[in-house]
Amino acid sequence: MISCGVRGKCSPSRVAWRAGVLWSAARAAGDPSTAGADANGTRAPDPDRAAVRRRRRARAEAAGLGRSRGGLSSKVHAAVDATGLPLSFVLTPGQAGDSPQFQTVLGKIRIPGPVGRPRTRPEPIAADRAYSSKGNRAYLRRRCITAVILEKIDQQPSRKKKGSVGGRPVTYDKERYKQRNTVELCFQKIKTWRGLATRYDKAPDSYAAGLHLRGSIKSTAPVPAADRCAACVASPNAGPR
């Protein structure tokens, strides 16, 4: 720490001279903390510190943790049916985007029936504007799934500028779009488990197991398959403590 006795403005030359004197005195005394420092008092990059940062970053990635505005956090992407029961979970770091995980979440949907293979294709999909992208809409059209997703405001001028090539205006069912809050109600029930709300589990497999266990408990009540044809998608954050 460099201190100057004059309040307000401080001469840069005086600061540099005082830093050089302190550094020279500490070096003459054999202070190990001055190793790798220059005459201005700044510390040179330490290769050991860089290795420590790389190891910390690797451990965070292995644990499924990422950096967001709140610090270390993880994000849970989920698909929920019309009755509020979870259909699939995807765990990603906290800074991961919502739209890139849209197809991954839908690909994990499995609704078992009395006979035959489980259903993997819901009829409509209700989601927020964050999931409105050409890739997601093309994916839904390819699978013959009705998209109940409102178009982003900044996407409308781009579509109109392209003319007929940009395609028709996006239409959606307003009544079904209002029902997308069922996924938020599902997460409200899931977060009643304190370990899931704040993620005390370091291993991502243990945390994902808790998510599936909570979803299984919610799904114990029998629900007709006809009522589970609609799905909603969302992804709130869960930060560790």
pLDDT at 38: 52
CA atoms of 138 and 236, how far apart (whole Å): 25
Q: Are 179 and 126 in contact (CB under 8 A)?
A: yes
CA atoms of 60 and 68, how far apart (whole Å): 13
CA atoms of 144 and 122, how far apart (whole Å): 9
**How far is residue 81 from each of residues 106, 178, 189, 238, measured CA to CA in Å?**
12, 14, 14, 21
* Residue from 214, 178, 202, 177 nearest 78 by CA: 214
CA atoms of 205 and 182, how far apart (whole Å): 26
CA atoms of 197 and 105, how far apart (whole Å): 20
pLDDT at 223: 53
Residues 6 or more apart from 205 whose CB is under 8 A from it? none
Q: What angle do CA 74, 78, 79 make, to 5 degrees?
A: 170
* Residue from 56, 70, 66 nearest 93 by CA: 66
* Residue from 154, 151, 143, 153 nearest 168 by CA: 151
pLDDT at 9: 38
Number of residues in the chain: 241
Instruction: For tokens 């998209």, name the residue.
Output: 147
Residue ranges in the chain modelled with pLDDT below 50: 1-28, 30, 32-35, 226-227, 229, 241
Q: Which two tokens stand for residue 14?
A: 């005086």
